[in-house]
Each structure stands twice: as structure tokens, then as C-alpha cells.
Structure 1
Amino acid sequence: MPEQEIELKGTNFTLSVIQIENNDLTLLDAQLKSKIAQAPQFFHCAPVVVDIKALEAFTDFVNLKQIIENNNFVLVGICGHSSKEQKKAVQEAGLAIVNKGSVQKIAKEPAKVVQQEVPAPIESTVIENVPTKVVKGQIRSGQQIYAKNTDLIIMGSVGNGAEVIADGNIHVYGTIRGRAIAGASGQSESKIFCQNLQAELVSIAGVYMLNEQLKEHANLPQCIQVEDQQIIFNQLN
């Protein structure tokens, strides 16, 4: 019986990046826990790369790996190393050296969430314990709206680099160009409604799809939901 051949191919994947700017791993641990608390299902087992370009002398990759994995992220590798010593320490910790391409930052001291092309920190607004939260107008790049324990209605559009999060449903009476995360605390029955889907990411109860996967459903009014751990699209009339 012939042996099965293994085929290796080069391809591109969209990964999130945790960018750290000091050696305080205790602070990093606290920031990750704070970020996860906003959307625990979305970040669970998310693959990440750590960017250390701001840390010229950092070599404690064993403890860094432990902290990342203790917070239920999957650490793929390290980027931004600046010396042979750092590269050696990365490899000795059993991690890969990653060349950073087009990535999204999900944690930065002090725990700022931004898209790579947006230099300003996200302006975060958290709404709690109201029947339904209604926000009128454009959600601009760098803004984050989180409707805790309720639904979120956006009377406008969600711009590139913006993020809308709800524990319940999300209704956008305009275009989604940024990120929409419904069922952020694990509510799999939550849905996302929009008049025009051009999103960077949509997620429901931790099940997500990126822009590249959304193209066949783009530029249409959509009702998005989860069935059997799969994102389902129902075009609105």
C-alpha cells in the first residue's frame, strides 16, 4: 500500500496580534482578563501572535506563553524580534517566528483595541441592563459600543475599524463595515441584522467569519445566525 504523501502549501491566514510594550507580564495578564470579560466566547481559543517589537531586551517567552495560554488563547508565534538572542529564546520556548503582514491588534498597553491602520485607541462605551439600547448615527473608526445583557440597535452604519458588541441581538439600519459581535456572553440564539453587509468580522456566541469568507453574502441585507456551530445567512427582502 503506497504511503500517503504530505503536501505543504503556502497560504494566508488572518490572525490577531497581542502587542506588548513593557516587560510587566502581570499587567499583561490583567489586561487580557479584562478584554476577555467583554466577549468571553469570542476570544475563547482564538489564535494569536505576540508582537514584541517594542521590547528589545525581552526574552522571557516561557512565562509569556504560559500567561497567553492560561487565558485560553492559542499562541501561534512571536513577531517583531530584534536580536539573535530573542530569536533563540523564542525557539527554545517552542514558539514560531512569524513575519507580520496584515493583522489586527486585540490587546495593547493599556489594553487598547484598534485595527492596524487606525492609530487612535478605541473609544469604548458600555451600556448595561436596559431593555434595548438604541444608538443614533455613524459608529466611527476607533469606537466600540457594547450592549451588556441586552440588544443593540444602530440607527446608522458601522464604519471600518469600529466595533459593535451585544450580549443579545444586533440590528444595524445601515452598512456594517467594521466588526459585529452578537451573543458575546455565549447566547447562541442571538442574531445580527443589517441592511448592507461589508463587515470585517461577524461573530455570534464565539462562532465567527472574517471578511474574506463573507464576500458571497456582501452588499446585501442579511439576517445572520448560528445553527450547529455554523454561521447561517438569510437574505432580508
Structure 2
Amino acid sequence: MSATPDFSPAGELKFGQVGIANLRVQRFDPARLVGEMRERLLRAPNLFERAALVLDFGALPQPPSAAEARALLDGLRAAGVLPVALAYGTRQIDALARELGLPLLAKFRAQYERAEAEPARAAAAAPPAPAPAPAPPPAAVQPGLIQRTPVRSGQQVYAEQRDLTVLAAVGAGAEVIADGSIHIYGALRGRALAGAQGNADARIFCREFHAELVAVAGHYKVLEDIPKDLRGKAVQVWLEHGQLKLAALE
């Protein structure tokens, strides 16, 4: 008798939120970009060593040539990080990604485009306001995500379009991400990224602060950048005029 054929897949493919660093290239200077990355890795090797990195050329008037981009990729790899994709932008960047054999990731562009569009919208002359329409009924408020158990090393919890409340500890090597604010009632030893889609009003609150990294709307600080007198304290983190602020909670 012939063996029963096995139709089960060899691999299961899933898509999910991924905490990944984005390098927004403001000026194409490969030597300086690589040098800055080396400095970051020296300051926080546990965070940046072999970290996946997305390159965003959207701030440049023109993207680099394929040869220039390959030289930058090689330099970044030599510095200790792993470029894995380009951030989506124009057809030129799409063509560059194809030539480099890298994928395009779109989500990183969204928060920059929203932030940069605000001043332009404010400067434009506003048309006469139409008569107010009847107010729609209030939408149902989406509750925040509550994580009741500890977030252990290698785990990630993501609260999409809402706040995240963690009732336990966030261990070293763990990551919590929210499009809104993050509230942690235990120790924070891993990474916390609030305002993940660009919400600059998001905040991070934690009862015992030992974070490897905290970020609000893409602005981040690593443990080595944080005053030692805040470690182990109850702390809040927020964004003010484009600068990440930390302070002890009274």
C-alpha cells in the first residue's frame, strides 16, 4: 500500500506588528551615518547589535544610486546592524529597492508624512466654513488593551489604535507597543514604545523604571541616556517640542 500523502504545510506564515528601528536619512553622508550608528551600538550594544533596520530616504531630494546605497548598506552591516528594507516613498525608491533586492515597508512613512503635512495645512488659506452639520452620535469608545501576565524576554505585546495597560512586569528583552499611551504597574526592564503610529500626545507611565529603551512617536532614549536617579523610580515619559522628557512621578 502507498503511504498516505501529507498535505499539511511545512511552514505557517503570519503577519504581525514588529518593533523595528527606522533610520531616517536627513543627509546622504555614508561615513557620518555609519559613524553615528557605531556610536549608538557602543552606547547600547544589547539594543543595537544585529538590530534589524529600515532605511528611509524620503527626506532626500533624490534617493541615492544603487551603488551609493549598497556602500551605505555594507557600512551599516560592518557597524553591527542589519538593514532589512527601505521605507516606501516614491517610484524611484521602489525601483531602488528592487535593484537592491530589498522589500519596501510602508508603515514607517505614515507618521512622517502626517507630521510634515500639518504645517502646510496650517499655512494654507482656509476656505469659508460651511454651516455646521448635525453632530453624529458619539462613537463607541474602544477600551484599552489589558495585559495581566508578565511580558517575558522575547515576547511582544501591541495595542493597535488604543492604550496598553500592563498589570505585571515587562522583562528584559521584552517589548510593549501601543498606538496610544502605555501604563505599566510593574517593573519595566524591556522596551516601551508609545504613539507607535505618530501620536505625539501619547505617554508612558511605569511604577519601577529600568527600561532598555522608551520611545514616544519615534523619539527614543536608551538606558544609557537616562539619568541614574530615575532608575527604579516611578516615571512618566512624554514628548515636548520634539524632545523626549522623563520625570519622576510624585
* TM-score (norm. length: structure 1): 0.52
Please name the residue that 1:167 is paired with: 179
Gaps of 5+ in 1: 1-33, 50-66, 75-88, 109-128
Instruction: For 2:153 and 2:83, locate their aligned partners in 1 and report how far apart those are by CA, in whole Å.
Output: 15
Gaps of 5+ in 2: 1-14, 26-32, 38-52, 61-66, 86-140
Q: How does 1:18-167 map to 2 (within 5 A)?
A: 43=22, 45=24, 69=55, 93=71, 95-96=74-75, 99=78, 130-167=142-179
Q: Determine whether 1:227 maps to 2:240.
A: yes
Answer yes or no: is the 8 Å Cα contact 2:22–2:56 preserved in 1. Answer: no
Instruction: For 1:228 and 1:100, locate their aligned partners in 2 and report how far apart those are by CA, in whole Å.
Output: 31
Q: What code does the residue aligned with 1:180 have? A: A
Percent identity, aligned pairs only? 34
Answer yes or no: is the 8 Å Cα contact 1:43–1:73 preserved in 2. Answer: no
Instruction: For 1:149 and 1:158, locate their aligned partners in 2 and report how far apart those are by CA, in whole Å.
Output: 21
Q: What code does the residue aligned with 1:164 have? A: V
Q: CA deviation at 1:93?
A: 3.1
Q: What code does the residue aligned with 2:244 have? A: I
Relative contact order higher in (CA < 8 Å, ≥ 6 apart)? 1
Please name the residue that 1:218 is paired with: 231
Higher strand share: 1
Measured against aligned partners, the alpha-carbon deviations of 1:140-195 in whole angstroms (never above 9, x if no partner) come to: 00100000000000001100110000000000001111000000000000000001
Number of residue equivalences: 150
Q: CA deviation at 1:39?
A: 6.6
Measured against aligned partners, the alpha-carbon deviations of 1:177-223 in whole angstroms (never above 9, x if no partner) come to: 10000000000000000011111100000110011012432111011
Q: Which has the larger radius of gyration?
A: 2
Q: What code does the residue aligned with 2:22 have? A: F
> Aligned pair in 2 of structure 1 residues 146, 201: CA closer, same or farther (>3 Å)?
same
Q: What code does the residue aligned with 2:155 have? A: Q
Higher helix share: 2
Q: Determine whether 1:192 maps to 2:170.
A: no
Please name the residue that 2:119 is paired with: none
* TM-score (norm. length: structure 2): 0.50
Answer yes or no: is the 8 Å Cα contact 2:22–2:54 preserved in 1. Answer: no
Answer yes or no: is the 8 Å Cα contact 1:178–1:200 preserved in 2. Answer: yes
